[in-house]
Structure 1
């Protein structure tokens, strides 16, 4: 898929932004259009269980998403693509795509990214803020509480100067759930 790209770019919109796990030559804020960051993937292992799934982020249709683009050298292209596939395609809830991305410096590139497969059983769909918050509040998996996933994601995004108002509202509603239970 990425062989026809003149330069090899990767677009990250969740943990890849601050923890890419691969060598890159350039890192720059970027935006993709037609997709948005969303808590739309059921997590049965890391942030939930099959009996009580949690929610993790996916790139879903609609809107736009501010993230980070990484330019990878031609010599690292195959290695990085293999790494990304091992990291992102574990349960095949994500689909590998090459998306147009607008870099902060106004360059336009094509970047490999991973969008949610709306036909996969782990696709949660577009949840209301309150519904997403209730799931996040009560879920816990092998990697810890779902609440920690959301708050850590927001903290890293804030450090990078990236705001996500919808995710911020979910986080505030999770705090409301904790206060109501408490």
Structure 2
């Protein structure tokens, strides 16, 4: 796990994903019925890679915690823009950044606008195994729908796998006001840290990558005004 400036541990680890720690936590909660089976997870990944030739490298689009905590073996990174979606705190988190009794919020890709993020290059030789790990991290709860997205970069258009919010999921929070988002981020905490830390690390990682997100910066300001000071300064991004 990573460490915040206050010394608190935050962020999932590769080892957590390999041993299905999050799935185990939800299995013992009222939300166990939302979990996808191993077979459903496998079919989802198979469908995603149906047109992949097995020789080309695969790109993954990160827009939230993947940027600063990818947990993937990758050989390169690019800044890219995806059109038709925007970054929004629209997903309830009952494990990572909250609890079933007091759910937190994390980011999803919702419809409309455009979003800048980081594209991670997975070498073809390990792409399948790394994506299996990524599916265990992002797809086990059915909160996201995996999509091939067109990302515009300085090197041209790149097709990348991205995780779009599932509007049919019970975990979809809809369009909350900034005040509602800030209140939830300031008062929720889960297995991998608080909502405030999640916001701070994401805002700092975007800034370190040269990506401006005025909305996340505004949320940091609102948290500070609430007398809950997040550390939105620069952190290593990788």
- Aligned counterpart in structure 1 of residue 178 of structure 2, from 106, 117, 129: 129
Q: After the TM superposition, list the runs of 4 or more consecutive aligned residues in structure 1 that deviate by more than 6 angstroms.
A: none
- For 2:117 and 2:216, the matched residues in 1 are separated by 14
Aligned match of 2:147: 97
Gaps in structure 1 of 5+ consecutive residues: none
- For 1:19 and 1:44, the matched residues in 2 are separated by 19
1:154 aligns with 2:203: yes
1:1-182 correspondence to structure 2 within 5 Å: 1-5=48-52, 7=56, 8-105=58-155, 107-178=156-227
CA 1:26–1:152: 2 relative to 1, 3 Å: closer
Contact 1:25 1:73 in 2 (8 A): yes
- For 1:120 and 1:77, the matched residues in 2 are separated by 28
Q: How many residues align?
A: 178
- Cα offsets for 1:23-52 (capped at 9, x unmatched): 223311011111111111111122112222
Q: Which has the higher contact order (CA 8 A, sep 6+)?
A: 1
Q: TM-score, normalised by structure 2?
A: 0.70
Specify which structure has the higher proportion of strand: 1
Contact 1:129 1:166 in 2 (8 A): no
Give me the CA root mean square deviation.
1.6
